[in-house]
Amino acid sequence: MLVVSDRISAFDYILPNLIPNKGKILNQISAFWFDFVKDIIPNHVISINSKDFPVEFQTDEFEGRSMLVKKLKMLPVECIVRGYITGSRMEKL
């Protein structure tokens, strides 16, 4: 099970405030993209439907913020995307 929280962290430090429903929104965005690219590259998602979860995870606490996944061997690749409100940095070069 992967469970996404409403906590905020910065520089490996968990801040005291929460952002309500942050976990649900991030989980749904991830679920969309995993489903969208599943025909291009297989992924670890089994289900985001709480009825498919183990019984102990079929509660309101986990609804919308969890996904049932299979264990996998991770491909160690990271991608960082940064955007600018005023446009691309390439315009300034």
Specify the CATH architecture of the domain 2-92.
2-Layer Sandwich (3.30)
| Residue 73 confidence (pLDDT) | 83
The domain limits of the chain are 2-92
> pTM to 2 decimals?
0.72
Q: What confidence tens digit (pLDDT) does each residue in 17-62 have?
A: 889 999 999 999 999 999 999 999 889 999 999 999 999 999 999 9
**Cα–Cα distance between 81 and 86 in angstroms, integer?**
16
**Cα–Cα distance between 32 and 30 in angstroms, integer?**
5
- At 47, the amino acid letter reads S
| Residue 81 confidence (pLDDT) | 75
| Residue 8 confidence (pLDDT) | 85
> Of 12-16, 26-30, 67-71, which range is least confident?
12-16
